[in-house]
Structure 1
Amino acid sequence: MDVALVLIGLVGGVITALSPCILPVLPVIFLSGADRERRPYPVVAGLVLSFSLLTLLGAALLAALPLPPGTIRWAGLVALVLLGIGLIVPRFEAILEAPFARLPQARAGRDRGGFVLGLVLGTVYVPCAGPVLAAITIAGATGDIGAGTIALTAGFAVGTGLTLMVFALAGRAVSQRVAAFRRRQRAIRVASGVAVVLLALGLTFGVNVPNYATALDHEFQRLLPAHVPTGSDVPPALAECVGQALYTEPPDESQDCGPAPALTGITDWVGTPVTLAGLRGKVVLVDFWTFDCINCRHVIPHVEDWYAKYHAQGLEVIGVHTPEYSFEHEIAGVRRAVAREGITYPVAVDNDYGTWQAYGVQAWPSLFLVDAMGQVRHVAVGEGGYDETENLIRELLTTP
């Protein structure tokens, strides 16, 4: 097993557990430690186990089974609501735990229920996109799972699990030192149940959260020894620009990243289909995103604003929706997301990762700015760098 890949996965797991994606799950993790009747270890163990297995194998398994892509997610959301109600109503919790009564456990009842809660949380835990998680997800979705992918997944699971455990133990430390927690165990369990139900509702309706970890993510990415390639035939100049965008600040001037690859393997469109060849003579911004990516949703308003401001001057925008999770393959979900985010430019559905791999993309969101001659002149990864990107758009629009 490659130690470097394990370390990359470990750092990626820590970043994910410190990112905004943990906010919906954090109250449940914290309160699992504060609940004296339920140890936090099984909760975190169940979450990490189910999340890792679903990330690594879920897409491949669903592809082999005659099930809709969103089956696992919706099953997890329903189970989450039921477990939340169980925390609020003890008799209902006993009914839920009855099927597990004969399973051998070091401790009965509460630990067993905690592990089940963790398993369910893992099905709806939505981590932020990054180069490490992107490599794991795409390997699982394409069935290309090898020793390197397993090493990344193992490191990612350990990094995420350790960080979540810190939050859980912090909840336990607070509960042990604050008398109000010790006196109100029943109230804490009810609060946990309410938090679980609210989590399920928030994930169902796509509640957004603010980002506070972009700078931390960039700083950690610079420590990684090498990026994880996701396309084997990417032109060297373009691959170099993608690598620079991942590990350095966005450049202030245009780059020479070579010809923009054609849109490849597109399975559907939301809006009017277009081609880069057909847009020759226009400045084109290609935005790789996916609808359950928080960072993508933060970037889209900026992209939409540029499209509104500069479209009349010759700017075209193409959204490329490349799914991170199996449920994001659903075209109906993509259409709802396009409507929800107010996207007015065409969106290509890249369910087979053809265009993603052609461009060598490694993280959501990624922006590629193409000049009127079809050359990639700027690559931006993640949030931020909006002023630099807009300045380059204006520059290319005024270049003869």
Structure 2
Amino acid sequence: MEILLFFAFISGLVTILAPCIWPLLPIVLSSSLAGGKPKSLGITLGIMVSFSVFILSISYLVKLFGLDPNIIRLFAVIVLVIMGLSMIVPLISRILEGILSRFSGRFGQSFQKRSGFGGGFITGCSLGIVWTPCTGPILATIATLAATTNLNTGIILVTIVYVMGLGIPLFFFSYGGGRLVARTRFVSGFTGRIQQVFGVLLLLTALAIYTNYDKVLQVKLLDSFPSYTQFLIGLESNPAVKKQLNILKGNKEKTDEMIGKPFDMTDSNGLPNLGKAPEFVGINNWLNSKPLTMSELRGKVVLIDFWTYTCINCIRTLPHVTGWYNKYKDQGFVVVGVHTPEFEFEKDTKNVENAIKQYKIDYPVAQDNDYATWNAYSNQYWPAKYLIDANGVIRYIHFGEGNYDETEKAIQDLLKEAGKNVSTSLQEMEDQTPRSQNSPETYLGSERMQYLTPNGKVEVGSYRFSLPKNIPINHFSLGGEWDVMSEYSSSRKDSILEYNFQASKVFLVMRPGDDKPKQVKVYLDGKLVTTGSGKDVTDGSITVDSDRLYELIDLTTPENHTLRLEFQNAGTEVFAFTFG
């Protein structure tokens, strides 16, 4: 933990050099021109406190009170407008100081200096709410665990150390910069005018935040200085930090190499004992079954299958899972599909019910919308299979696709162990696990976006993109106007998306944002697709009429091509590409 805290502190310390914080610095400097050290301290502490509280508690506030996060952001904008006007108009400044003076009288002398700690703290709190730092692995882990309301003391401690690192240079910049301006003879006679100029700057900043242009500005700065992002990721991605972040998430020592391989393979002594199976917890809804418990399933062999209905890797495993269930269900074998959603719309019970019908799933399905059972198993992957014996002990684990014969043999072994007479024959079913090196899964929401050309990703906001002439392989570009959200990007009319991919099949998770069908034209290497079109494409066009995975391209062999999508309507929401 000490290593993680050290790197969290260093990451906060170097944030002063980050392009994402540069738009904040003139405001910090302007706000500290009057008020001296107390006001600089107030601004710094305000940013530290509000940023920490906001990032750690926003998901709880939304969940408890149904609060729109934009309301908090709007409140911060109003405060910045008031502060900006007070710097421009002396009358407003005197009124504001009077209010602060009366307020501070109830809380001792620390707030009472003119334009001192109190005013600085309020300004800092507003800035801390609306500021978005450049995110590295450490801050990304904090945000992810907070977003899933999975906080612990370790996360809170790392956040505190991070903002402590941030606060030190920020205070020295605020206080030192203010003193430097005050002592410079050339500007000392124009302090009032300078403060008014900074007041205008504060109003412009409030306007940029209200219109989300602050996100655009941050992206442009990051584009101009890409070396900082590379430095931050390099700093926070060393093996020691990665290991500590995994522990912080509550993950076992699982690595990417385990995907597609059994966990703890069988040996001469049979299947290993991997511990007691956790109980189903936090299930929102049961489909195809009454509510189940692991204790009442004692005596049966149980396969827990973590899946989500838009995951192509999950979809390719479903024929095998449904086949095993139909083959062995009369011999004491039960499958429980734990549907843990990757995207918000996958929480909709109707959508899950449609998927159950589409894939002919007859076994029980549990909706784990809050990741409670997922976390109980310390799971990390879709799909993931946990095979449990008749005594409620996990005996076999498999992540990803493939190894179907081995999994079925493990099912047979546990049924025999439970006293059942089962055949040793195996299902004869095609293994559709991709064998070639395909393009990676590609997310189109800002939270997990990483293959956008240029510069990898953008933050939440509205943008007008220009398509580059050349797109590197396994990367995509956007053209026209787009609204980028944390989980998805939403098209405007005539928006364009291009992807330089390597695969035989291309899939895209999409949904019509307003429930009205949307049309998307599909081009392959500049031509409207005909030969090689996916099953959801008709005459070179897709109708997006439900929230699901759409097949765009279906070639006979894996090849390198450029896919172009032209969106005929506004409001088509695109989530993630997967490839086969």
* TM-score class normalised by the smaller sequence: 0.5 to 0.7
Post-superposition shift, 1:185? 1.8
The question of 1:41 aligning with 2:73 is answered no
Post-superposition shift, 1:33? 3.8
Post-superposition shift, 1:290? 4.6
Q: What stretches of structure 1 of length at least 5 have no aligned partner?
A: 241-258, 270-274, 320-326, 350-395
Aligned equivalent of 1:210, options 201, 204, 221: 221
Conserved in 1, the CA contact under 8 Å of 2:40 and 2:174?
Answer: yes
In 2, Cα distance between equivalents of 1:262 and 1:13: 39
Most deviating of 206-215 and 225-234: 225-234
Post-superposition shift, 1:329? 5.8
3-state SS of 1:25 partner: helix
1:174 is matched with 180
Post-superposition shift, 1:305? 6.0
Distance 1:81 1:176, change over 3 A: closer
Distance 1:261 1:11, change over 3 A: farther
1:299 is matched with 456
2:337 is matched with none
Post-superposition shift, 1:50? 0.6
Distance 1:265 1:188, change over 3 A: same
1:11 is matched with 10
**1:209-248 equivalent positions in 2, closer than 5 A:** 209-211=220-222, 212=225, 213-221=228-236, 225-227=240-242, 228-229=245-246, 230=249, 232=251, 236-238=255-257
Task: Report the AA paired with residue 137 of structure 2.
Answer: P
Aligned equivalent of 2:115, options 110, 119, 122: 110
1:78 is matched with 78
Q: What whole-Å deviation, never above 9, does each CA across 1:273-299 have from its counterpart, x for those lacking one? A: xx9999968943433465489987832
Distance 1:149 1:178, change over 3 A: same
1:194 is matched with 200
State the Cα RMSD in Å: 4.5
Distance 1:305 1:318, change over 3 A: closer
Conserved in 1, the CA contact under 8 Å of 2:85 and 2:199?
Answer: yes
3-state SS of 1:335 partner: strand
Conserved in 2, the CA contact under 8 Å of 1:9 and 1:154?
Answer: no
Distance 1:285 1:189, change over 3 A: same
In 2, Cα distance between equivalents of 1:187 and 1:76: 25
Conserved in 2, the CA contact under 8 Å of 1:46 and 1:116?
Answer: yes
1:377 is matched with none
The percent identity for this pair of structures is: 22
3-state SS of 2:67 partner: coil
Conserved in 2, the CA contact under 8 Å of 1:70 and 1:328?
Answer: no
Most deviating of 34-43 and 147-156: 34-43
Most deviating of 29-38 and 16-25: 29-38
Conserved in 1, the CA contact under 8 Å of 2:445 and 2:487?
Answer: no
Say which structure is richer in strand. 2
In 2, Cα distance between equivalents of 1:293 and 1:177: 46
Task: Report the AA paired with residue 225 of structure 1.
Answer: A
TM-score by length of 1: 0.65
**1:349-360 equivalent positions in 2, closer than 5 A:** none
3-state SS of 2:44 partner: helix
**1:141-156 equivalent positions in 2, closer than 5 A:** 141-156=147-162
Q: What whole-Å deviation, never above 9, does each CA across 1:154-185 have from its counterpart, x for those lacking one? A: 11110111121232133124214311332222
Say how many residue pairs are matched: 317
1:391 is matched with none
Q: What stretches of structure 2 of length at least 5 have no aligned partner?
A: 260-310, 316-340, 347-381, 384-400, 402-431, 459-464, 479-483, 500-507, 512-557, 562-579
Higher relative contact order (CA 8 A, sep 6+): 1
Task: Report the AA paired with residue 266 of structure 1.
Answer: F
Conserved in 2, the CA contact under 8 Å of 1:47 and 1:119?
Answer: yes
3-state SS of 2:66 partner: coil
Conserved in 2, the CA contact under 8 Å of 1:85 and 1:92?
Answer: yes
In 2, Cα distance between equivalents of 1:294 and 1:195: 31
Most deviating of 182-191 and 218-227: 218-227
Most deviating of 205-214 and 280-289: 280-289
Post-superposition shift, 1:14? 2.1
In 2, Cα distance between equivalents of 1:198 and 1:299: 28
Distance 1:137 1:222, change over 3 A: closer
Task: Report the AA paired with residue 342 of structure 2.
Answer: G
Q: What whole-Å deviation, never above 9, does each CA across 1:239-262 have from its counterpart, x for those lacking one? A: 89xxxxxxxxxxxxxxxxxx9965
Distance 1:127 1:39, change over 3 A: same
In 1, Cα distance between equivalents of 2:439 and 2:466: 13
2:520 is matched with none
2:322 is matched with none
Conserved in 1, the CA contact under 8 Å of 2:39 and 2:121?
Answer: no
In 1, Cα distance between equivalents of 2:69 and 2:487: 6
Post-superposition shift, 1:134? 1.1
Larger Rg: 2
3-state SS of 2:490 partner: helix
Conserved in 1, the CA contact under 8 Å of 2:58 and 2:69?
Answer: no
Distance 1:317 1:293, change over 3 A: closer
The question of 1:265 aligning with 2:276 is answered no
2:168 is matched with 162
Task: Report the AA paired with residue 102 of structure 1.
Answer: F
Post-superposition shift, 1:31? 2.5
In 2, Cα distance between equivalents of 1:174 and 1:261: 60
